[in-house]
Structure 1
Amino acid sequence: MLFKREFKRNLRSLIIWSIIIAGIILLYLSIFPSMAKEQANMDNLMNAVPSGMQKAFGMDRLSLGTLLGFYGIEIHLMTTLLGSIFAALLASGIVAKEQNEKTAEFLLALPISRQTIIAQKGAAVAANVALFNLVIVAASLIGFQFSSAQTLSYKAFFLLELAVFMMHLTFAAVAFLFSAVARRTRSIVSMSLGLVFIMYFLSVVAGISDKLSWLKYVSPFKYADAAQILTEQSFRPLYAVVMAVVIIGCFFAAYGYYRNKDIVV
């Protein structure tokens, strides 16, 4: 089964990235109890940060002295940025690499249609991203036990992680479309990673400048904004719908293009 083949080919990468992100989460959450004791000093430190930077990173609405506030400021950046890079790298090469590695001839000789090939590759991408996000959730829940005396809203936490999961899928879907359309894996990886960093830069600019706040509707990073989700305890339906449309649209576009693509073997 092609799905199993693709899953196994990417399993090592998934394990490595999962260990890295879980280690970061557990490390940060393990030092939170000692930092919480210095809440006054931490708040003073945050107040020294320019107001624009406070807005960009949610420091104006979250506190490092609370567990979810600390998570939203310190850890959320890691899970969103590193997770998006993982998703983009995973999806950007999963189709085009068949030509680069000269395995397209073997793949197309199998008694399965092109539609099945692209659908199962897409399913492998989605499964890897889902498992990676399950690791994030599991590591976070374990890490929260270091501060069991702190109360937190699990509703807000799971809404935040839902937004992060959809954001990762969004970048994976766009990179998957790049992979289906382009022919050279190296250029696809560059475009996919470039997109991640550009979107992150736009989210920071949207947070700093009121005049450019409209950029938040362009960047998926603002759709998974920790300060908004954790303070309001809601994931705005508009953001969920936009990301869902992009995810579904990119996967179907990749499906349609690959079906008629002229593949040189």
Structure 2
Amino acid sequence: MIFKRELKRNLKSLIIWSIVLSGLILLTLSIFPQFAEQQKAMERLLEIYPESIKKAFGMNNLNMGDLLGFYGVEIYMMTTLLGSIYSAILASNILAKEENEKTIEFLLSKPITRSQIVTEKLLAVLVNILILNGVSTIASMIGFQFAKDPDVPTDTFTLLIVATVLLHLTFGAIAFMLSSILKKTRNILSVSLGIVLVSYFMNVMAGVSEDLDVLKYFSPFKYVDAALIINNNELDPLYIFIMDAVILLSILTSYMVYKKKDIAV
């Protein structure tokens, strides 16, 4: 009951985000053929860019004249950042809004436990994130066809998709945990988005300055760096472990806190 209701509640938002993200992906990939044809001119243009900027966005480690390299620099940044923002917005409101909207009284009057509430809402978050990633993946595959040689290594592309999903689930789990702890949805949303944006900023700063390199260990965006995945054709096991641990810890905390939470009915 709760699971279906949450899917309906968030359907409009999911459609809008899917359309916007897919549109951006297709629009960006549509310019790749012109970019590839003028690669030498583009390379000269990129040489003007400060080295710190190229490092920050992976331009120094990826060949933008190559379709997968172009994807790693231009598209991957959009799917990871925008998808993380969507995940944070979705998960940050999903539990606390019942208290804010006074609908928790209705839920708790039914033969349903708090653990069931958390489980079904968590599943709704998971399904929405997977759908958004599924749509963006399909849009990317369609966009690849704009290139004269659309042959992209399936294994590497799959790793990029898996990394993106893991990143979104990480931020989604953190925001979900905050939704179980805090009461005001506005505060939860602010903190959740703040975590995403600060993490992204730390990743950029770690690339800009070697003195700030330590910041990369505190940013999940660095764990799924496109250049590392494409060049090494693998996901770093340590980074996967850290993200999985954060996801698991956040979910367990959500269950423990919500079961004991003082909810006024």
2:239 partner letter: Y
Cα distance, 1:151 vs structure 2: 3.5
Distance 1:145 1:96 in 2: 43
Superposition pairs of residues 135-214 of structure 1, within 5 angstroms: 135-214=135-214
**Sequence identity (%):** 52
- Mapped contact 2:30–2:143 kept (Cα < 8 A): yes
What's 2:220 paired with? Answer: 220
1:43 partner letter: E
CA RMSD of aligned residues (A): 1.0
Distance 2:112 2:148 in 1: 52
Q: Deviations over 1:184-213 (max 9, x none)?
A: 000000000111110000000111122221
Unpaired segments ≥5 residues, structure 2: none
- Mapped contact 1:223–1:239 kept (Cα < 8 A): yes
Aligned residue pair count: 265
What's 2:107 paired with? Answer: 107
Cα distance, 1:176 vs structure 2: 0.3
Cα distance, 1:152 vs structure 2: 2.4
- Mapped contact 2:91–2:172 kept (Cα < 8 A): yes
2:128 partner letter: N
Superposition pairs of residues 217-256 of structure 1, within 5 angstroms: 217-256=217-256
Q: Counterpart of 2:145 in 1: which secondary structure? A: helix
Q: Deviations over 1:138-162 (max 9, x none)?
A: 1101111111524322211110111
1:235 partner letter: L
What's 2:72 paired with? Answer: 72
Distance 2:156 2:209 in 1: 26
Cα distance, 1:61 vs structure 2: 0.9
Distance 2:31 2:152 in 1: 17
Distance 1:39 1:81 in 2: 27
1:5 partner letter: R
Q: Counterpart of 1:61 in 2: which secondary structure? A: coil
Q: Deviations over 1:45-99 (max 9, x none)?
A: 1111111111111010112211111111111111111101100000000000011
What's 1:54 paired with? Answer: 54
1:85 partner letter: I
What's 2:41 paired with? Answer: 41
1:260 partner letter: K
- Mapped contact 1:43–1:63 kept (Cα < 8 A): no
Cα distance, 1:7 vs structure 2: 1.2
- Mapped contact 1:3–1:124 kept (Cα < 8 A): yes
Cα distance, 1:32 vs structure 2: 0.7
Which stretch of structure 1 is more off in the superposition, 222-231 or 148-157?
148-157
- TM-score computed with the length of structure 2 as normaliser: 0.98
Q: Counterpart of 1:75 in 2: which secondary structure? A: helix
What's 2:132 paired with? Answer: 132
Distance 1:83 1:196 in 2: 10
- Mapped contact 2:33–2:148 kept (Cα < 8 A): no
What's 1:11 paired with? Answer: 11
Distance 2:110 2:16 in 1: 31
2:212 partner letter: L
What's 1:84 paired with? Answer: 84
**Pair 1:122-2:126 in alignment:** no
- TM-score computed with the length of structure 1 as normaliser: 0.98
